Structure 1
Amino acid sequence: MKHSSSARNQYLATFCVNLLSINYGFACGWTSPSFALLQSVDTPLSSGPITTEEGSWIGASICVGGLFGTLISGWMSERYGRKLTACLASIPQILSWIMVIVADNAYYLMAMRFLGGFSGGVCFMVIPTFIAEISEDRIRGMLASTLVLSCNFGILLVYILGNYLPYATIPWIMLLFPIAFIASFSFIPDTPFYLMRKNDFARSENALRFFRGYCTDTQQVSNEFKLELVKLQDTFSDEKQSIPQDEITWADLSSRHARKAFLIGICLMAFNQFCGCFAMLNYTASVFAESGSSLTANMSAIVIGTIQMFGSYFSTVLVERAGRKVRPLGGLRCFGNVPSAVVGSKGYVNLLVNCCLHGAGFEGFKAHLNVEKRFLHENLEKKNYDSCQRIQISQYSDCSVKAFQFERDCLVIGTLTVRY
Structure 2
Amino acid sequence: MKMKEAKEEYISKKEGHTYWQWTLALLVTMTVFTYGLDLGWISPMARILQSEQSPAGEPLSDVTLSWIASVLCLAAVFSVYLFSYLADRFGSKASVMAIIVPQAISWILRLCFASGTWLIISRSFTGIAAAGCFNALVLYIKEISQDSIRGTLVSMIILMQNIGVFVMYIMGAYLDYYTIVYIVACIPVVTGILLFKAPQSPAFLVKQGKTEEAIATLAFLRGLDKDHKIVISEVAMMKNENDNYKSEPNMSLISIMKNPIWRRGIIITIFIFAAQSFNGAFALMTYASPILTSTGVKLSVSAETLTLSIPPVLIFGSTVNMICAERIGRRTINMLMLSISACSMLGIAASMLIKHFDGTVPSWLPIMSMIVSVWAYAGGVSALPFIVMAEMFSFQIRAKVMGLIVTLAWFMAFLPIVGYMPLSNAIGLHTTFFIFAGINMFGVFFTAIFLPETRGKNVEQIEKALAIRIGLEKVDKNPT
Do they superpose with TM above 0.5?
yes
Q: State the secondary structure of the residue aligned to 1:190.
A: coil
Aligned to 1:275: 279
Note the 1:235-384 alignment, pairs <5 A. Answer: 235-244=238-247, 247=251, 250=254, 252-253=256-257, 260-282=264-286, 293=299, 295-318=301-324, 320-324=327-331, 327-338=335-346, 342-343=351-352, 352-363=367-378, 367-376=380-389, 384=397
Report the residue type matching 1:198 in the other structure.
Q
Q: Which has the larger radius of gyration?
A: 2
Q: CA RMSD in A?
A: 3.6
Are residues 89 and 141 of structure 1, via their aligned partners in 2, closer, same or farther at CA, if it must alter by over 3 Å? same
Q: Is the 8 Å Cα contact of residues 330 and 388 (structure 2) preserved in structure 1?
A: no
Are residues 26 and 279 of structure 1, via their aligned partners in 2, closer, same or farther at CA, if it must alter by over 3 Å? farther
Shift of 1:408: 5.2
Q: Is the 8 Å Cα contact of residues 32 and 283 (structure 1) preserved in structure 2?
A: no
Q: Is the 8 Å Cα contact of residues 59 and 282 (structure 1) preserved in structure 2?
A: no
TM-score (norm 1): 0.82
**Deviations, residues 218-267 of structure 1 (Å, cap 9, x unaligned):** xxx375x3541354145225413532257456364256655554444333
Aligned to 1:175: 185
1:94 aligns with 2:104: yes
Aligned to 2:478: none
Report the residue type matching 1:313 in the other structure.
T
Shift of 1:72: 1.6
Aligned to 1:229: 232
Report the residue type matching 2:119 in the other structure.
L
Counterparts of 2:330 and 2:173, CA distance in 1: 38
Counterparts of 1:196 and 1:255, CA distance in 2: 24
Aligned to 2:401: 388
Counterparts of 1:28 and 1:270, CA distance in 2: 21
Q: State the secondary structure of the residue aligned to 2:79.
A: helix
Q: How many residues align?
A: 405
Report the residue type matching 2:168 in the other structure.
V
Aligned to 1:138: 148
Q: State the secondary structure of the residue aligned to 1:45.
A: coil
Question: Residue 59 of structure 2 is aligned with which of 48, 68, 76?
Answer: 48
Report the residue type matching 1:244 in the other structure.
S
Larger deviation: 258-267 or 22-31?
Answer: 258-267
Counterparts of 2:49 and 2:24, CA distance in 1: 37
Report the residue type matching 1:305 in the other structure.
P
Counterparts of 2:99 and 2:17, CA distance in 1: 28
Question: Residue 167 of structure 2 is aligned with which of 142, 148, 157?
Answer: 157
Q: Is the 8 Å Cα contact of residues 32 and 286 (structure 1) preserved in structure 2?
A: no
Question: Residue 35 of structure 1 is aligned with which of 42, 46, 57?
Answer: 46
Counterparts of 1:167 and 1:292, CA distance in 2: 32
Aligned to 1:199: 209
Q: Is the 8 Å Cα contact of residues 248 and 384 (structure 1) preserved in structure 2?
A: no
Aligned to 2:414: 401
Shift of 1:20: 0.6
Counterparts of 1:337 and 1:57, CA distance in 2: 28
Shift of 1:324: 1.2
1:20 aligns with 2:20: no
Counterparts of 2:31 and 2:243, CA distance in 1: 32
Counterparts of 2:260 and 2:126, CA distance in 1: 37
Report the residue type matching 1:304 in the other structure.
I
Report the residue type matching 1:147 in the other structure.
I
Note the 1:40-79 alignment, pairs <5 A. Answer: 40-51=51-62, 53-79=63-89
Counterparts of 1:349 and 1:103, CA distance in 2: 45
Q: State the secondary structure of the residue aligned to 2:340.
A: helix
**Deviations, residues 177-232 of structure 1 (Å, cap 9, x unaligned):** 21221122222221222223223345434433432447xxxxxx375x35413541
Q: State the secondary structure of the residue aligned to 1:244.
A: coil
Q: State the secondary structure of the residue aligned to 1:137.
A: coil
Counterparts of 2:361 and 2:82, CA distance in 1: 47
Report the residue type matching 1:277 in the other structure.
A
Shift of 1:56: 2.3
Segments of structure 1 that go 5 or more residues without pairing to the other structure are 215-220, 415-420
Shift of 1:375: 3.9
Segments of structure 2 that go 5 or more residues without pairing to the other structure are 1-11, 430-480
Counterparts of 2:64 and 2:113, CA distance in 1: 14
Q: Is the 8 Å Cα contact of residues 55 and 115 (structure 2) preserved in structure 1?
A: no
Larger deviation: 140-149 or 389-398?
Answer: 140-149
Aligned to 1:217: none
Q: Percent same amino acid at aligned positions?
A: 20
**Deviations, residues 302-347 of structure 1 (Å, cap 9, x unaligned):** 3111111122233445565254166222122233334555556669
Larger deviation: 254-263 or 184-193?
Answer: 254-263
Counterparts of 1:201 and 1:229, CA distance in 2: 10
Shift of 1:19: 0.7
Larger deviation: 187-196 or 274-283?
Answer: 274-283
Are residues 213 and 329 of structure 1, via their aligned partners in 2, closer, same or farther at CA, if it must alter by over 3 Å? closer
Q: State the secondary structure of the residue aligned to 1:178.
A: helix
Larger deviation: 54-63 or 373-382?
Answer: 373-382
Q: Is the 8 Å Cα contact of residues 34 and 167 (structure 1) preserved in structure 2?
A: yes
Aligned to 1:417: none
Shift of 1:352: 3.8
Report the residue type matching 1:395 in the other structure.
L
Larger deviation: 53-62 or 378-387?
Answer: 378-387
**Deviations, residues 361-388 of structure 1 (Å, cap 9, x unaligned):** 3226xx4354224445666677554433
Report the residue type matching 2:342 in the other structure.
C
